[in-house]
Amino acid sequence: MNSARDLAVGIDVGGTNTDAVVLDGAGGVVAWTKQPTTTDVTGGVRAALAAVLRDIGDARGRVSRVMLGTTHATNAIVRRRELGRVAVVRLGAPASGDHPSLVGWPAQLRETVLAGALLAGGGHLVDGYPISPLDLDEVRRFLDGLAGRYDAVAVCGIFGPSFPEQEIEVGALVHEHVGVDVPVSLSHEVGALGLLERENATVLNAALHRVARDVTGALVTVVEEEGLDAAPYFAQNDGTLMELDYAARYPVLSIGSGPANSIRGAARLSGADDAIIVDVGGTTSDLGVLAGGFPRESTLPREIGGVRTNFRMPDILSLGLGGGTIVDVARGVLLADSVGYRITEEALLFGGATATLTDAAATGARAAVAGRELPPLDAATRAALGNALAAAHDRIESAVERMSLGRVGLPLVVVGGGGFLVPDAVLGASEVVRPPRGDVANAVGAAIALAGGRADQMCDLADRADAIETAGRRAVERAIQAGADPRAVEIVDVLETPASYTARPMLKVSVKAAGPLARIGRTTPPALSSTKGTP
């Protein structure tokens, strides 16, 4: 990288804090901040970016890129707000009729999102044999029948990831019939094999286009407000990055980016390639596994807002345990609630009236805060706080054992602002590592991430090599679309899984590609805004 443009800004939005860091060309942290997460999220991002740029002064001209990991998409699904209405086209009639589109969704979310659903002719068997002829006229009549009462279209074909031609043909038909301004999500570009979960992920992606437009626009606005000539990027679920155009097209891929950022950041700060990571925040503790420098991915369907999906997510175990977790002093137990970003107002250590795990740690001086002391506590209260802290230690230890999957000798890397809750020795971990600046590891992970892409393919066992090559080519193409340098992108992971219940031996091949970002910054400086972000 050009030494004159060697700085990168990473921003991660959490439930309690919005963290930002500035990294130099060698990956060192030269500035960092924690700002309260705001209700609209954008305000916290604006404050965090302004704070770190103020810290580096005249060096701000060396910033070449800004990366963001955000909870916008997750919040929209959970809150059932800002979601578009989706026309769903499933290719595979007469198969799959017993399981209609969006089956199993929470009723309120289904009513919010579903504009109409069609089970059309098309789809394939596992070996590529067509289930029925593709009926494009049927799709046209379906769209005409909705008379524009939809914001986006989702297309999902049976075994679409292995045989995507029909989905592509329907996508082209939609744009030809109703216009290119209508967003179309194709399932083979979003999820893995598994019809219902992949369809769910595709519909969520289509419903999030409005959110994606707003959040990508907000990041551009914040960057322009600061007068930065820098390229903005968004973090993906698997610890890689995507350009704004890619993020706007696949917003669902940003779900789960927070834990992935923490794992990648912990890897960089600790120097570990294989480890268990625990990120302790104000509300939750997220545990993941670092395998070969990347987050270990879950092989199970994941629920987002009550919807089962199968796009790639980090294998994360979340505990309702953080610095703001409330302690019931009368019973000496932990409650399933947190004061969250209000900790500086409500915790005992800050003059409030609510006992938290931060207060419990402070009784043993593990959570010392400059200029802050606990009020006088009676013996019973101190004992209750001690019992709560011991219970937190037990839960962390059990979670580490669960995530290790029986593998011994892995270090436990502790990051996050609530890392003081983790004891210095944890059963099942070879050692407990607390890297410098681990409290902003999530933002570091966003700043160092590569651009990545993934592809899946079903094949006969005898065609394994050809399938890996085909899936690898698709993965590389998607990584380049996400912003990777075509000259440096490479295959970083190949996963082969035998398929069950098939007439002959078959494999599911999943290939991941990643590479460094292709460009340093925009060639034309953005216009300055009259509104400056203030922390």
Q: Does residue 173 carry a pLDDT above 70?
A: yes
The neighbour count for residue 369, using CB atoms within 10 Å, is 12
Q: Is the pLDDT of residue 456 over 90?
A: no
**In the chain, where the domains are located:** 84-207, 274-408, 451-515
Give residue 535's pLDDT.
29
Which CATH number describes the domain made up of 84-207? 3.40.50
- Structure confidence by residue, pLDDT tens digits, 48-102: 999 999 999 999 999 988 998 877 787 778 778 789 999 999 999 999 888 999 9
Residue-averaged pLDDT of the chain: 86
Predicted local confidence at residue 519, as pLDDT: 58
Q: What's the pLDDT band for 369 if we cut at 50, 70, 90?
A: low
Query: Is pLDDT larger for residue 396 or for residue 482?
Result: 396
pLDDT at 529: 28
Cβ atoms 190, 201 nearer than 8 A: yes
DSSP 8-state class, residue 347: B
Residue 95: which of 123, 118, 117 has the closest Cα? 123
Q: pLDDT above 70 covers what percent of the chain?
A: 94
Task: Evaluate whether 363 touches 386 at the Cβ level (below 8 Å).
Answer: yes
| Statement: residue 301 has pLDDT above 60 | yes
* Mean pLDDT value of segment 279-304: 82
Look up tokens 């059990």; give the residue: 398
Token output for 304: 């987002």
Does pLDDT of 298 surpass 90?
A: no
Query: How large is the average pLDDT for residues 105-120?
Result: 94
In DSSP notation, 357-389 reads: HHHHHHTTTTT--TT--PPP--HHHHHHHHHHH
Question: Would you state the pLDDT for residue 165?
Answer: 94
Taken in order 133, 138, 142, 143, the sign of the CA dihedral is positive
pLDDT at residue 523 greater than cutoff 60: no
Among 255-264, 391-400, 434-443, the range scoring the smallest mean pLDDT is: 255-264
Q: Are strands 285-291 and 317-319 parallel, antiparallel or unpaired?
A: antiparallel
- CA atoms of 426 and 440, how far apart (whole Å): 22
Q: Is 431 helix (H, G, I), strand (E, B) or coil?
A: coil
For strand 412-415 and strand 275-280, is the pairing parallel, antiparallel, or unpaired?
A: parallel
User: Where does the pLDDT of residue 366 fall: very low under 50, low under 70, confident under 90, or very high at 90 and above?
Assistant: low
10 Å CB burial of residue 524 (0-12, 13-18, 19+) is exposed
CB 511 within 8 A of CB 478: no
More confident position, 168 or 317 = 168
- The whole-number pLDDT of residue 526 equals 31
Which is more confident, 371 or 528?
371
At residue 21's C-alpha, the angle toward residues 17 and 22, to 5°, is: 165
DSSP 21-57: EEE-TTS-EEEEEEEEPPTTSHHHHHHHHHHHHHHHG
CB atoms within 10 A of CB 464: 16
Give Dmax over CA atoms of the chain in angstroms: 77
Pairwise CA distance, residues 285 & 223, whole Å? 30
Q: Looking at residues 296-324, what average pLDDT do you find?
A: 81
Give the Cα separation of 102 and 293 in Å (integer): 36
Which helix (H) or strand (E) segment holds residue 65: the answer is strand 63-69
Choice between 333 and 40, residue whose per-residue pLDDT is larger: 333
323 three-state secondary structure: coil
Calculate mean pLDDT across residues 210-231. Answer: 88
Return the closest-CA partner of residue 200 out of 80, 272, 280, 104.
104
* Nearest by Cα to 153 from 162, 144, 161: 144
**pLDDT tens figures, 221-241:** 899 999 998 889 888 877 788
Supply the pTM of this predicted model: 0.75
Residue 500's pLDDT band (cuts 50, 70, 90): low
Measure the CA–CA gap between 247 and 318, rounded to whole angstroms: 25
The string of pLDDT tens digits covering residues 237-260 is 777 888 888 888 888 888 877 778
Question: What tens digit of pLDDT does each residue of 266-290 get?
Answer: 988 999 999 999 998 888 888 999 9
